[in-house]
Structure 1
Amino acid sequence: MRSRDVGLLGLGVLCAVVVSIGAGGCQPEGNTRPPGWSGGPEGTAGQGGSGAGTASAGDGGRRDDEGEGATATTGSAGGGGGGTEDPPAARVATIEEITTGVVARDTVVELKGVVAMSQKFFIDDTRSGACLWGVFLSSPNLTETAANSGILAVSRSEASTDENGGVVCPSLENASAGDPFPDDVAPGDVLDIVGETTFFSSSSCSDACGDLDCNDESDPPETADTCRQDCGASPELVAQSAVGQYQVEWIKSVTRTGHVEAPKPHVLTAEEVMKLSSPTATEFFHAWGGVKVRLEGALAPVLRTDSMGEEVVVGAYGNIHLEGGPVQVGDKIYYIGGAQSACYRGPIYSDVNVVFNRVDGFLYNNFCIWSLQPANKCTDIDPPSEDCVTDALMCP
């Protein structure tokens, strides 16, 4: 669990992130491993909360059959490691074919000319001792993102261990991840990628919460209260969801072939925002999961109370909740614990009367919570974090 000052979003991976394998409850902030976590039943890569210090951010959705038919990805940036057997031939596929189910899960695919939409970020560790890294991708030749045009790619590197046997993953602030993605991958990079289609879906996400909208006032009060208790949620916060997310995992090779202007994010309609706030909107999340989108308008935060009894914009786990759903906005992509640069720390909003004009981010299933994850606290949020202005930050 993060150790951080109230009002900051978080601090991410130290010079080396030490991740223990402890278990935690299913928190509304999405930063601890749900009870009984063992990854997706489909054998998928998963999402954890922002890892910090010695706290476990989750298991990363490891495959229960990890190691069988998988190719190790311990190579340096731009290349992958090799297994003992030749991998199956890759099928040339598109992101749309994967996210619409045309290409079956657990298929080795080659994505040609896809566009990076985010920097590389730390997802989690696995119980087998691997570090998971993520990059969001878009279909090529787009000026604006669209349904089924985005996906999360999950790569792996070999973790080291500390003196107590704990898993240690490097900090992207000052070390190479050692996975196939270039460490300096950036939005707009054109990539050819070989990996395997997977689907993140954890049975640890409570059916009681996944099948019930905790924020629906038409539900019987006793039922809604039970759901909130099970989810660890309070009435004003989002409910956990059992709806899974398409991914490309087990990345075997990455080749950067050029650079283009990344497509601008699709502006969600009022109807789409309400679907984003529903834990049961399966069709919507399958279409828009992994896609960068935009919320715009007068976006007021749901204020929380800190340990001192003061109202704050940013919650203890580094999440902001916006009214009108509500919608959870996190710091998963840019947060690096113990970072020296403020670019990798959480945003600061000391004015509880702040109203956001715009928030850009990726739809991401982060430990049973579908949330909006900005890639940059200075450019993806308007107004930007206060330290972006005072420190004149130019964050990557």
Structure 2
Amino acid sequence: MRSRDVGLLVRLGALGAVALLVGAGGCQPEGNSSLSTGPGGPGGTTGAGGSGAGASAGGDQGEAGAATTGSAGGGGGGTEDPPARVVTIEEITTEVVPRDTVVELKGVVAMSRKFFLDDTNSGDCLWGVFLSSPGLEETAANSGILAVSRSKATTDGNGEPVCPSLESASAGDPFPDDVAPGDVLDVVGETTYFSSSSCRDACGDLTCDSASEPPENASNCRQDCGTSPELIPQSAIGQFQIEWIKSAMRTGRVDVPEPHVLTADEVVKLSSPTETPFHHKWGGVKVRLEGSLSPVLRTNTMGEETVVGSYGNIHVENGTEGGLVQVGNKVYYIGGAQSACHQGPVYSDVNVTFNRVDGFIYKNFCIWSLQLTNKCTDIDPPSDDCVEDNLVCP
């Protein structure tokens, strides 16, 4: 399968093939794949062994505030849905609600636009929207989650299945194509947990500063891939999600909560491969880094130092031991986009220092990272083209 949304996609097959594919792909610490196999076929989440949540309920798009659902039905693998249990995001991320449960989240707040996650060998296109608990002035632990919806790919002139570009076509999944931060939604789907035991070993052994400290217990380990000097360790810790979305009903608009400002200790935990309690609490939540944040410079193929590395990622550090964070463009980037709003960030000044970074704590291809929603407003200073072109991005 090919997608116009990204330049290179990692194909995901059955669960037994995940480790093989990751290993065969070599070291990809900054790649874009985020999902493995789950209920109803490839592309779900490991740890989910039940039936899918069923076919999605399609509908027409409407104005914000109208009761609308997405443009088509891309659902799970089951044939008959059990009744949805009304729950909260906190109940999912604290496991009060078991995994593989069909649930309804009422009045949750969209924190991001809809974005392309991945495709599957079964012909599904996967889309993501970050959601927050309602009624918050500031994000908090256990208040955020990634919702993963599906649609069927179309076929190009060569008979190849292709996922649409959100810049020019409808995704065809249950979420409205124009879903935006602040939209209030009622969402029906299935609780899942993304986890892959192959993540930790995908690039070979972990190397640690202390030879006496086992890699699985070391907070100062770095993946030994031999190509990048600022590697962030891969992690086998999973992330809670709501998947197999059946319907996403838009019911209103509110102000989005302010992102929680991480402490120095929390910044260190963000990239740690072993901080399970932290990632279970904060995965899917929008947070803020503040202070003097220096980029770790890369060297491009021409031997020049750059702020922005592979896949549009920026690595920043706050001067704290282990306080290195990968800042990505997964949410706003669209491969081949005409609008600069959906292109990668640009920083020509290698001496730039960032004062603030807002993003979602998200496991992107085995690495816990921070994903921006907007390269003009979620990072200070903004991308160069935001200033030079007076770019205003939604």
Residue pair 2:48, 2:100 contacting (<8 A) in 1 also: no
Residue 36 of structure 2 is matched in structure 1 by 39
Aligned-pair CA distance for 1:236: 2.0
Q: Which moved more, 1:312-321 or 1:336-345?
A: 312-321
Q: Please list every run of 5 or more consecutive structure 1 residues that lacks an aligned counterpart in the other structure.
A: 1-11, 46-58
* Structure-1-length-normalised TM-score: 0.83
Q: Could you give the per-residue CA deviations for residues 276-329 of structure 1, whole angstroms, max 9, x where no partner exists?
A: 121111100000000000001000000111111111101122111112421100
Aligned partners of 1:252, 1:222: CA distance in 2, in Å? 43
Residue 71 in 1 paired to residue 72 in 2? no
**Does the 8 Å CA contact 1:228/1:235 hold for their aligned counterparts?**
no
- Residues 135-183 of structure 1 show CA distances to partners (whole Å, capped at 9, x for unaligned) of 0000000000000000000000011233555331000011110101001
Q: Distance in 2 between matches of 1:260 and 1:156?
A: 26
- Determine the structure 2 residue equivalent to 1:134: 128
Q: Distance in 2 between matches of 1:253 and 1:333?
A: 21
Q: Which aligned pairs between 1:252-291 and structure 2 lie closer than 5 A?
A: 252-291=246-285
Which of the numbers 307, 319, 326 marks the counterpart of 1:313?
307
- What is the one-letter code of the residue matched to 1:271? D
Structure with the bigger RCO (C-alpha within 8 Å, sep 6+) is 1
**Which of these residues, 312, 326, 329, is aligned with residue 328 of structure 1?**
326
8 Å Cα contact 2:45/2:195 also seen in 1: no
Question: How many angstroms apart in 2 are the aligned matches of 1:318 and 1:60?
Answer: 24
Question: Which residue of 330, 355, 359 corresponds with 1:361?
Answer: 359
Q: Distance in 2 between matches of 1:166 and 1:217?
A: 47
The amino acid that maps onto 2:390 is A
Distance in 2 between the 1:110 and 1:180 partners?
14
Residues 246 and 84 of structure 1: is their aligned pair in 2 closer, same or farther, counting only changes over 3 Å? closer
Would you say the 8 A contact 1:28–1:233 is kept in 2? Answer: no
Aligned to 2:102: 108
Aligned-pair identity (%): 69
Check conservation: 2:188, 2:245, Cα contact below 8 A: yes
How far apart, CA to CA, are the structure 1 residues paired with 2:170 and 2:315? 33
Does the CA contact (< 8 Å) of 2:53 and 2:78 recur in 1? no
TM normalised by structure 2 equals 0.83
2:40–2:51 CA contact under 8 A, matched in 1: no
Q: Residues 220 and 318 (structure 1 numbering): CA distance in 2 closer, same or farther, change over 3 Å?
A: farther
Aligned to 2:166: 172
Question: How many residue pairs end up in the alignment?
Answer: 364
**Aligned Cα root-mean-square deviation (Å):** 3.2
- Among 201, 204, 210, the alignment partner of 1:218 is 210
Listed one character per residue, the Cα deviations across residues 76-126 of structure 1 (whole Å, up to 9, x for unaligned) are 551563788431000000000000000000000010000000000000111
